[in-house]
Structure 1
């Protein structure tokens, strides 16, 4: 092999499909690569032929120019692929295996990984704990919205599908195991969702829809999804969720009361993150809105799952505090109500095997819930534009035309 093609961030508002280097088992210098990671040998890794790779809402934060991502960064952290080359030190993963790649890069050797906190691996990112493919300030591991990609620590990280033919039949669902499905599920688990719970999900984008479906799988009695986008709310309603349109009526508690007969829920999940808007007509960006509103509508003693992304560097923020991730949060309210907050990257490996089994058994219908839409690699730039306009689709890139 001598070439590769990939989706590349070229500056605020722009991505392009470019010819890039074919991957090898060494992390080389390039846009965003931490100098301490340059030359890192990955004989414990594999090369994948990418079967599917998804566009994520967190990719959009970079493309909008709302992070410090460098031009030339190859995007993509939601990867499913076929192993076509294995490193010298790989023992259990074999050439030809079809695998899901957790978006967290983790070594399997450090204290965090041994305690199943693979979201904050201590060895893969010299800047801080935790890493991901094709993402700003994550060590510089090359993204997977491409034809081929290198994956380190293969024996530890990769989830092998037990039957390739069965997996390809359900690939639209299984491609969600790399991030969105475990992330939504982690949000629901962190919020304490259990049989009979009433749940509020802030945000009807793909992660919010995944969280809503996950709450249903966990036995929630009622799942309410709130958003400012009517098309995305219609998608939530399509698989049995109640919905509240916060662009029409900004009083969240009032709308929940109309559904439940009470203005509070047992559990709430923030699937919006730092680009949140205020509620009501004429709304504008107000990054603490969702965090404050879910404290208001969650009962005393309840829990808040926060898989929505928050950052320490936002050059496009509305004020100087927000540029460094300092938000005006009503922490006293959360304290008074004895709330539990769970934040941070999702430890994908904690959940992906059980969610795979839910998909293969037919129990989980995640592709339907998030409206999975398969596109070619060349269609990715246009898909980014449509996703940014709020279309209710989860775009799945099929770089080799392998998805039926």
Structure 2
């Protein structure tokens, strides 16, 4: 816990009964020992729940509301929050801009892979669903609003993709699949997903994506086979710092994705980079990567006039619109990411299977709220 946050009063907070809380790839980095996360940290920044108690300064959120909780913790008062940059709130983390639940160096806020969780600045932070019964019915899809759906969407929007665009998404994990679904929602003409994992590529094809198996030849050649040219209009990095070389052996090469995206993105295009990069990676075999220094071909990106957008997704910028897309059946996000429900007690199995490359988005169900709930 950040020392300045110890004993901090949260009269503005609400306590939620957790109805769904998801395992994220960012959690997996910590479990693998690839961050400086301390032992005993309660994980979980993807939270959907029911308000069961509220602090005396909470005015608008009501007990009984079913709400989505952005993984960004934001005060709603600082300059960045007022400019819709809630991923880098200046008041919730004494260490640096930006806070999150159950995450290393993000202020020490307790995570939501638990039965209950406290949400600070509740009036500002939570997104109440308009109808309790509808929220319960669509809970498996709505739980994706706390992180991966807005994060994938942010990556695609940041890449400049739109109607008719060709988009390449590096990584067919849950965020990459969410980005692919977002690209389709935005009207992209061709959505191509690349990975080393054949099961995850099959999941991408299940909802209409083209795929590239990065063990089967160069990325440029495989894109050319699909599009007729070896480049795309826009690209998204949904992999991050644990990237691997595009070979059968797949040895770690943390700058691989960034460099490959600059290679295949057209001149004047953009890269959306929601994939996580860290300032410290104690588990890396590369001395420079241990302190977040990567061998990125910035000269290539400069020569092609690329634009780059990095950092946490400001979830609040997108989550209400994406909620409406789910409620009005415009997107099937739980199916796209292969949402799979586990009990809270089964979380270790979910982490182990996810670590082995299982093509699932594991959703934990602490109170049985997801019994009988199916993807849209």
Corresponding residue number in structure 2 for 1:30: none
1:141 aligned residue: 109
1:1-400 → structure 2 map (5 Å cutoff): 33-249=1-217, 251-400=218-367
CA distance in 1 between counterparts of 2:50 and 2:139 reads: 12
Q: TM-score, normalised by structure 1?
A: 0.91
Moved more, 319-328 or 346-355: 319-328
Q: For residue 364 of structure 1, report the CA deviation from its aligned partner.
A: 1.1
User: Structure 2 CA distance, aligned partners of 1:316 and 1:74?
Assistant: 21
Q: Distance in 2 between matches of 1:253 and 1:214?
A: 23
CA distance in structure 2 between the partners assigned to 1:84 and 1:72 by the alignment: 26
Q: What is the deviation of 1:318?
A: 2.0
Q: How far has the Cα of 1:280 moved from its partner?
A: 2.0
* 3-state SS of paired residue (1:320): coil
Pairwise CA distance, 1:402: 1.2
Distance between the aligned counterparts of 1:50 and 1:375, measured in 2?
A: 14
Q: Whole-Å Cα distance in 2 between the matches of residues 106 and 115 of structure 1?
A: 12
Per-residue displacement from partner, 1:186-242 (whole Å, max 9, x unpaired)? 000000110000000000000000000000000000000000000000000000000
The alignment partner of 1:109 has SS state of coil
Q: Deviations over 1:292-320 (max 9, x none)?
A: 00000000000000000000010011211
Distance across 2 between alignment mates of 1:156 and 1:247: 46
Q: Distance in 2 between matches of 1:367 and 1:215?
A: 15
Q: Deviations over 1:95-146 (max 9, x none)?
A: 0000000000000000000000000000000110001000000010000000
Relative to the length of structure 2, the TM-score reads: 0.98
Q: Whole-Å Cα distance in 2 between the matches of residues 130 and 124 of structure 1?
A: 7
CA distance in 1 between counterparts of 2:369 and 2:281 reads 37
Segments of structure 2 that go 5 or more residues without pairing to the other structure are none
